[in-house]
Amino acid sequence: MARSTPILGCRSTVAYVPSPEAIETVSVSTNAFDAEQGSAGGAAINVTIKSGTNDLHGVLFERNTNQDLDAVNNYFSHPGRLAKNIQNQYGFAVGGPVWIPQFIHGRNKFFWFMDYETHPRRVSMRPM
């Protein structure tokens, strides 16, 4: 996933696109802005990333798409097989308290969170 994503119709870019599993809240401010948004035109979108909790929590995920599961709109216009299109999207997100025996006991104080996501894609230009 690209970490610098262009915004359609604008000359600026988004600095970071987090994994959906790492997003805690999304807030959209329109029209009357606070001083923290500055002179943003149209809307200001704030995304809050998750943090760790007092207990260890995590999630694993995978999404698979391939041409064998795709529907054909019209059987007569596509008598052969569909072009190769395999996409896997997988990753994890995990977080919890920082705990180093006899040094740091982070319960209610000090947390960590991390996530990873990737989506390799394999395609061919013509039907097989």
- Domain ranges for the chain, please list them: 1-49, 52-128
Work out the end-to-end distance of the chain between its first and last CA atoms, rounded to an integer number of angstroms.
28
- CA triple 44-47-49, angle to 5 deg: 160
17 pLDDT higher than 80: no
- In tens, the pLDDT along 78-119 reads 666 666 777 888 899 999 888 888 887 777 888 888 989 888
31 pLDDT higher than 80: no
Distance in angstroms (rounded) separating the CA atoms of residues 77 and 102: 70
Nearest partner of 24 among 46, 4, 43, 5, judged by Cα = 46
Banded model confidence at residue 60, pLDDT cuts 50, 70, 90: very high
- What percent of the chain has a predicted confidence (pLDDT) above 90? 6
- In tens, the pLDDT along 38-53 reads 666 677 778 888 888 8
